[in-house]
Structure 1
Amino acid sequence: MPSTTQPPLADPVPIPPPKPFVSRLRHPSSRKTIYDRNLSRTQTTPTSLPAFAYLFNTLITHHHSQSGSVSEIETRLNRAGYPIGIKLLDLLLYRQQTATQRPAQRPTRILELLQFVHTTLWRALFNRTADALEQSTSKKNEYMIVDNEPVVNTYISIPREMSQLNCAAFIAGVIEGLCDAAGFAMEGVTAHWAHEQGVKAEEGAVVNEEMWPGKTIFLLRFGEGSVQRDDAIKAGGGG
C-alpha cells in the first residue's frame, strides 16, 4: 500500500500577550469616586437641580423613542426606578443604624412601611417629607402618598396630546422597589395627576390646581398576602 506521509508542521505562531486593561472612567483630581464615600455619611450639599433635570430629560427622551403609548412610557420609567428602590432600603436602614447606634428594624407593618416611605425615603431623595399620607376609603389595600410639587416634573413640558403622562412614574418605581425589598408584595405603585377625576374622587378633597398644578398622588396597591399578614400581626397583638 502506498505510504501516506504527513507534511511537516509549520512553526506555531506565538500569541501576543493581552494588553493591560486601561479604564476609560474619568476620575476627579482627588482620584476618588463615589465608591470611596462613606455610606453612613449623608449628602452635605444638594444635587444640582438643572443637572438632574438634564439627565432625567434624557432618560425620558430615550424611553419616549422606544415606546408607542403613554402607558408604555410610564411603565418603562417605573422599571427604571424599581432597582433604585431595592438598593435604597438597605442603604437607608444602614444609615439609621449608624446614626442611632442601634440595630435598624425593617418595617413589619403596612403603616410602618408607609411612614418610612413618607418620611425617610422622601427626605433622602428630596430633603423633605411628602405632603400627605392617606388611605383609600373604598379599598383596604390602597394607600396614597401626595406630593404637591414633585421635583422630577419641575422642567418637564408635556404636549397636549400626552397630557395624561406623569413622569413621576419613575418615583413610583422607586417606591415599589423599596416595598418589595421590605417583603411587602405589591400589586403596583402608580403616579397620577391629582386633577384626574378618578383619583380626585378617591382622595375626597378639592384640588387647588392654581396653587399646585403638578400635584401628584402615588397610589400604592398592596397584594392580598401583605394585607392578610398585616391583619394576622394585628390580631396577634403586634399593634
Structure 2
Amino acid sequence: MSQPRPPNGPSGAGTNPSVVLPKETSSSHNTTLRYPSNGKTIYHRHLSRSKTAELSQASFAYLFSEMVTYAQRRVTGIQDLEKRLNTQGHPLGLKLLDLLLIREPPRSQSRPLNIITLLHFIKINLWQHLFGRQADRLEKSSDPNALDEYMIIDNEPLVNAYVSVPKEMSQLNCAAFVAGIIEGVCDGAVFPAKVTAHSVGSKEEGEMWPGRTVFLVKFQDEVLEREALIGKG
C-alpha cells in the first residue's frame, strides 16, 4: 500500500519544510537615505544661513583633485577631459545664479538684463562667492571680427593651485571646470554662450603669473541681436 506524498514546499521539493518569508516592507521605508533625529534636512535651512560659510582650501583641493582623477580615467585625451570638467561645472552655475540673486538685497534683486551687467555680476559676485575675491580683469575682444567675445581674466585660478599636471598633459587647464560654471550662469540668465579656459601669459607676465587663465566668453548670435534691439530702444 503506497503512503501519501507530503505536500510540496515553496521550493518545490517534496521533502523540504515550507519556508515562511518575511513580508516586504513598503517602498517608502526601502531607502538608503538617513535623516536626522529631529526630522530636518538641508532643505529646511534658510538660504542665507550659509552665506558667510567657507570651505577650507585643503578640503576643496582634495575633492577637486579626486574629481579630476575620476574624470581622467573616463576620457581619452586632453580635450575630452576639459569638456568633461566643463560639463561638471555647468549645473553648478545654473544653481549659483538663483542662489546669489536670492541673497541680494531686495532693491538689487534682479536678473542681469544686458551683457555688461551679467559679466560684472560674474566678475564680482560669482568670483567673490567662489574664491573670496573678484576676478582680476574683464575685457572685450578688440578684434572687429569677434565682437561677440569677452574675456574674464584670473591671474591665479584656485582650481589650478593644487593640481599636479604631468608633462605629457601640459596643455591641460583644469579651470575648464570654472568655465563650465560661467557657462551655466550665462545660460541660466538666458544669455547662451560658450565659455572656454585658456592658459596665457607672455614671457614677462609668465614669471609673475604662471597660471594666468583667460575665460573666453563667446555669446550666441541671438544674444547680440537682442542687445542691439535694446540699445536702439
TM bracket (short chain):
0.7 to 0.9
Q: Cα RMSD between the aligned structures?
A: 2.8
**Aligned with residue 227 of structure 1, among 217, 224, 228:** 224
TM-aligned CA distance change 1:30 to 1:211, over 3 Å: farther
1:217 deviates by 0.5
1:210 is paired with a residue whose SS is helix
Alpha-carbon distance between aligned partners in 2 of 1:224 and 1:115, rounded to the nearest angstrom: 20
Instruction: Note if 1:129 corresponds to 2:134.
Output: yes
Corresponding residue of 1:193: 199
TM-aligned CA distance change 1:103 to 1:77, over 3 Å: same
Q: TM-score, normalised by structure 2?
A: 0.83
Corresponding residue of 2:70: 62
Q: TM-score, normalised by structure 1?
A: 0.81
Alpha-carbon distance between aligned partners in 2 of 1:221 and 1:15, rounded to the nearest angstrom: 61
The answer to whether the 8 Å contact 1:148/1:215 transfers is: yes
1:26 deviates by 7.9
Corresponding residue of 1:72: 80
**Structure 1 residue identity aligned to 2:134:** T
**Aligned with residue 178 of structure 2, among 155, 171, 175:** 171
The answer to whether the 8 Å contact 1:74/1:169 transfers is: yes
**Aligned with residue 17 of structure 1, among 24, 28, 46:** 24
Alpha-carbon distance between aligned partners in 2 of 1:30 and 1:129, rounded to the nearest angstrom: 39
Bigger RCO of structures 1 and 2 (CA < 8 A, at least 6 apart):
1
The answer to whether the 8 Å contact 2:35/2:41 transfers is: no
2:178 is paired with a residue whose SS is helix
1:134 is paired with a residue whose SS is strand
Q: How many residues align?
A: 215
Alpha-carbon distance between aligned partners in 1 of 2:49 and 2:101, rounded to the nearest angstrom: 13
**Structure 2 residue identity aligned to 1:120:** N
TM-aligned CA distance change 1:217 to 1:71, over 3 Å: same
Deviations 1:180-206, CA, capped at 9 Å, x for gaps? 0100121x10001013xxxx7xxxxx7
TM-aligned CA distance change 1:45 to 1:83, over 3 Å: closer
Alpha-carbon distance between aligned partners in 2 of 1:173 and 1:215, rounded to the nearest angstrom: 17
Corresponding residue of 2:43: 35
Q: Which stretch has the larger CA shift, 41-50 or 209-218?
A: 41-50
Deviations 1:198-230, CA, capped at 9 Å, x for gaps? xx7xxxxx7511111111100000000001111
% same residue: 46
1:54 is paired with a residue whose SS is helix
Alpha-carbon distance between aligned partners in 2 of 1:45 and 1:158, rounded to the nearest angstrom: 30
**Structure 2 residue identity aligned to 1:152:** V
Deviations 1:79-116, CA, capped at 9 Å, x for gaps? 000000011111111001xxx23362111110111001
TM-aligned CA distance change 1:24 to 1:40, over 3 Å: closer
Q: Which stretch has the larger CA shift, 144-153 or 13-22?
A: 13-22
Corresponding residue of 1:214: 211
The answer to whether the 8 Å contact 1:194/1:207 transfers is: no
Deviations 1:15-73, CA, capped at 9 Å, x for gaps? 7131634645486x998654343202343342111111111111100110001010000
Corresponding residue of 2:5: none
**Structure 1 residue identity aligned to 2:185:** L
Alpha-carbon distance between aligned partners in 2 of 1:104 and 1:173, rounded to the nearest angstrom: 24
Alpha-carbon distance between aligned partners in 2 of 1:59 and 1:213, rounded to the nearest angstrom: 23
